[in-house]
């Protein structure tokens, strides 16, 4: 049984867990080997090439929550960058080392680099960065690419990008481990985040659903989805949500309101429920909508006739009468919602001002909602305490 006495607080969520979503990894196309600075085709170079192909073909793993866990997925670019180093003569090492310094400078400054897509694999794109090969995980592509053609698989989209140039930001430049991680999402952030403000309402598409919430791609005025924000599980609905997947699914279209923009960390926080009235502020007239087909409200008043209490409610009302300060308890009206919210009995105390010393208590189970009037000398906090006492006694 859930008892509600106030609105839920928005929890804080780390966005790093979405930086790299899980992807199964396999070779989607042959990897284009970058030219060595040495023009000779020695048996050593051939050996390195065979080694690289072996690494690529045997490569498997998953992209996870942070860049450190992307070692398996970025092994392709590590092998490629190692190949460049190993097949270069001594004179060729200096330019490659210089390119790593350049990559680190881009990572520190946050500047955007235009890189050509060399190829792709099961986890992401391989992008040329001067003499190096950078890896862009699929979750770091702009959401407009997948939303524009949702019927296409990510590998079909990747295939169309080979040979094109993408604006990217360097997320990680690790020369020691030969890892160069890139992001198109972060490169586009400065351009589009300036049009996102707290209180703005967007139409969005659900990109992925996690235990802690759902990532929503935001549609801009040009009809494309450029940025992604998070709706925390506590902001999905005023109703209790145990599993976000029961409410939202990949590809669903939803309306969201922006609740926070963290430009320093490139994060957008969203809410779905804040576009709806808080049920704590409502009466039964707002909870139960009129039945337009019948032309009459789906509400019934007691009018002297007894309304059968919801299962478990009668005991609670009897116990409430034992509390000091509560003089009378009566089920005044009941109605039926269009959908089942929860089979369990839920109670909440409306924040609507009392009328003639009567507070409104709402009870819900399944589709049925009942409005209870409490005649009491207690204030709102006193009633909450009385309810808590009762629920401690009722099994």
- 340 pLDDT tier (thresholds 50, 70, 90): low
Residue 56 domain-assigned (yes or no): no
Residue 292 domain-assigned (yes or no): no
Which range is most confident: 19-33, 284-298, 370-384?
370-384
CA distance linking residue 78 with residue 23, whole number of Å: 19
Residue 110 domain-assigned (yes or no): yes
Instruction: Answer yes or no: is pLDDT of 331 > 50.
Output: yes
Instruction: Answer yes or no: is pLDDT of 247 > 50.
Output: yes
- What's 109's domain CATH number? 2.40.50.140
Looking at the fold, whether 263 and 339 belong to one and the same domain comes out as: no
Looking at the fold, whether 172 and 205 belong to one and the same domain comes out as: no
Residue 149 domain-assigned (yes or no): yes
Distance in angstroms between the alpha carbons of the first and the last residue of the chain: 10
Looking at the fold, whether 235 and 178 belong to one and the same domain comes out as: no
Side-chain half-sphere exposure of 9, counting CA atoms within 13 A: 3
Looking at the fold, whether 205 and 166 belong to one and the same domain comes out as: no
Instruction: Return the pLDDT at 300.
Output: 57
Residue 189 domain-assigned (yes or no): no
CA distance linking residue 119 with residue 54, whole number of Å: 17
Looking at the fold, whether 247 and 322 belong to one and the same domain comes out as: no
At 159, which helix (H) or strand (E)? helix 154-161
Task: Note if the pTM is more than 0.85.
Answer: no
Instruction: Quickly tell me which residue has 């097949």 as its tokens.
Output: 87
Domain that holds residue 331: 309-393
Q: In percent, how much of the chain has pLDDT > 70?
A: 67
Domain count, the chain: 3
Q: How far is CA 81 from the centre of its chain?
A: 34
- 278 pLDDT tier (thresholds 50, 70, 90): low
- 369 pLDDT tier (thresholds 50, 70, 90): confident
CA-CA-CA-CA dihedral for 299, 242, 225, 276, to nearest 10: 30
Residue 283 domain-assigned (yes or no): no
DSSP string, 65-125: SSGGGGTTTTHHHHHHHHHHHHTS-HHHHHHHHHHHHHHHHHHHH--EEEEEEEEE-SSEE
Q: Any idea what DSSP says for residue 24?
A: B
CA distance linking residue 216 with residue 322, whole number of Å: 49
Instruction: Return the pLDDT at 195.
Output: 92
Instruction: Answer yes or no: is pLDDT of 60 > 50.
Output: no
Burial status of residue 135 (CB atoms within 10 A of its CB: 0-12, 13-18, 19 or more): buried
Is the Cβ–Cβ distance between 228 and 143 less than 8 Å?
yes
């Amino acid at each position: 049984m859930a008892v509600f006495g106030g609105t839920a607080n928005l929890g804080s969520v780390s966005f790093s867990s979405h930086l790299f979503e899980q992807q199964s990894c396999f070779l989607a196309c042959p990897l284009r080997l970058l030219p060595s600075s040495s023009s000779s085709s020695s048996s050593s170079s051939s050996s390195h090439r065979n080694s690289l192909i072996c690494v690529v073909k045997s490569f498997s793993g998953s992209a996870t929550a942070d860049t450190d866990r992307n070692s398996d997925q970025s092994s392709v670019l590590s092998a490629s960058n190692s190949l460049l180093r190993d097949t270069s003569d001594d004179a060729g090492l200096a330019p490659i080392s210089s390119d790593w310094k350049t990559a680190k400078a881009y990572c520190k400054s946050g500047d955007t680099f235009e890189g050509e897509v060399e190829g792709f694999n099961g986890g992401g794109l391989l992008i040329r960065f001067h003499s190096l090969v950078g890896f862009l995980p699929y979750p770091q592509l702009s959401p407009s690419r997948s939303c524009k053609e949702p019927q296409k698989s990510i590998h079909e989209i990747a295939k169309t990008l080979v040979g094109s140039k993408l604006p990217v930001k360097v997320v990680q430049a690790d020369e020691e481990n030969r890892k160069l991680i890139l992001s198109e999402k972060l490169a586009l952030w400065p351009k589009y985040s300036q049009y996102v403000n707290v209180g703005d309402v967007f139409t969005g598409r659900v990109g992925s659903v996690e235990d802690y919430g759902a990532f929503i791609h935001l549609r801009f005025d040009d009809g494309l989805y450029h940025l992604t924000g998070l709706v925390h599980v506590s902001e999905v609905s005023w109703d209790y949500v145990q599993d976000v997947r029961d409410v939202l699914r990949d590809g669903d279209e939803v309306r969201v309101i922006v609740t926070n923009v963290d430009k320093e960390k490139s994060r957008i926080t969203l809410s779905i429920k804040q576009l709806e009235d808080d049920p704590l502020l409502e009466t039964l007239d707002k909870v139960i909508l009129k039945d337009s087909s019948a032309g009459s409200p789906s509400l019934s008043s007691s009018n002297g006739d007894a309304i059968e209490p919801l299962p478990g409610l009668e005991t609670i009302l009897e116990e409430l009468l034992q509390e000091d300060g509560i003089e009378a308890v009566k089920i005044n009206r009941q109605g039926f919602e269009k959908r089942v919210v929860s089979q369990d009995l839920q109670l909440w105390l409306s924040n609507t001002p009392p009328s003639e010393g009567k507070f409104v208590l709402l009870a819900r189970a399944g589709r049925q909602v009942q409005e209870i009037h409490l005649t009491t000398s207690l204030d709102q906090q006193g009633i909450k305490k009385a309810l808590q006492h009762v629920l401690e006694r009722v099994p």
